[in-house]
Structure 1
Amino acid sequence: MNKLNSDVTRSRGPVVIDIENITKDYVMGEEIVRALRGVSLQIHHNEYVAIMGPSGSGKSTLMNMFGCLDTPTSGRYEFNGKNVAAMDDDELAAIRNREIGFVFQTFNLLPRSTSLRNVELPLIYAGMDPEAREERATQALVDVGLGDRIHHKP
């Protein structure tokens, strides 16, 4: 490896997501739909990645793999150096709760809850103290310019 490539690799940080030859097949009646075919990718800590492609190309399936919401038919997936296939449901839930976040094209808010309560929801699942939870959620809303809408419903 030349010096430039070596420096770039070092500056990227550790590998967080490492998938190798991931495939995903869905059985629909007598037909097998191959959603992913031999996908390999590494994503490093603090790296920004965009998954792009036409409709039906497997983007959502791949994101579900990254988010530990689905499992591959074959291939290897390591998250922070740990084999995801060897994790139990509690370990997977902890990763989803503490380490993985998605930004969706559409929002998925609870319509009868305020902005504050919607932002607090993942902190409830994380077991955060109610007072600290409200303070953190309030600050998050203020930070993104929604401080005046804390008690509004979607």
Structure 2
Amino acid sequence: MKKPIIKLKNVWKTYKMGENLVHALRGIDLDVHEGEFLAIQGPSGSGKSTAMNLVGCLDVPNRGEILLDNQNIAKLSESNLATIRGSKIGFIFQKFNLIETLTAFENVVLPLTFQGIPEDERKKRARKLLEQFGLGDRMNHKPGELSGG
């Protein structure tokens, strides 16, 4: 069996809201293997967004381990988490989080620029990604001209 690319082991996350403690996650475990398609569902307040923020390197747990490609990210610095976000994590939002003045192509190229990827490679990757998502013919459109569906 393949090793998981994402593994949560006994992960806890507690937030302080005013004087109250909110136990967003209480000892969750999860394995996600390469090629798996996963849907996380549950009622409002059940910890879905908290879990995604932890796996996405946007937050850290109070307790437990989060392994991405067998690397424990639970205790990494903000700088190291930012590096992982830039190289291994991708988010697809229902609402566009794109720069309105840039084209779809330019919006995809931009984060690759921050990674120091050479220009020719950035353009090649951006074209490939946009084509994979059925946007090959919309590369030069601005976000306001794209569908949110």
Deviates more, 1:53-62 or 1:128-137: 128-137
Q: Which amino acid aligns with 1:21?
A: N
Quick one: which of 125, 135, 142 aligns to 2:114?
A: 125
User: What are the ranges of 5 or more consecutive residues in structure 2 without an aligned counterpart?
Assistant: 144-149
Among 126, 130, 139, the residue aligned to 1:141: 130
Write 1 or 2 for the structure with the bigger share of helix.
Answer: 1
Q: How far has the Cα of 1:87 moved from its partner?
A: 2.6
Deviations 1:78-122 (A, max 9, x none): 222222134333432222112122222222111111111111122
Count of aligned pairs? 143
1:50 maps to which residue?
39
C-alpha change, 1:54 and 1:32, in structure 2 (3 Å) is: same
The offset of 1:53, in angstroms, is 0.9
Alignment of 1:25-104 (within 5 A): 25-104=14-93
Question: Matched residues, percent identical?
Answer: 47
Amino acid at match of 2:60: T
The structure having more radius of gyration, on CA atoms, is 1
The SS at the match of 1:85 is coil
Looking at structure 2, the residues matched to 39 and 53 of structure 1 have their Cα atoms a distance apart, in angstroms, of 14
Structure 1 stretches lacking a partner, 5+ long: 1-9
Runs of 4+ residues over 6 Å off in structure 1: none
TM-score, structure 2 as length reference: 0.85
Q: TM-score, normalised by structure 1?
A: 0.82
RMSD, aligned α-carbons: 1.7
How far off its partner does 1:67 sit?
Answer: 0.9
Aligned counterparts of 1:90 and 1:108: Cα–Cα separation in 2: 22
User: Residue 91 of structure 1: SS of its match in structure 2?
Assistant: helix
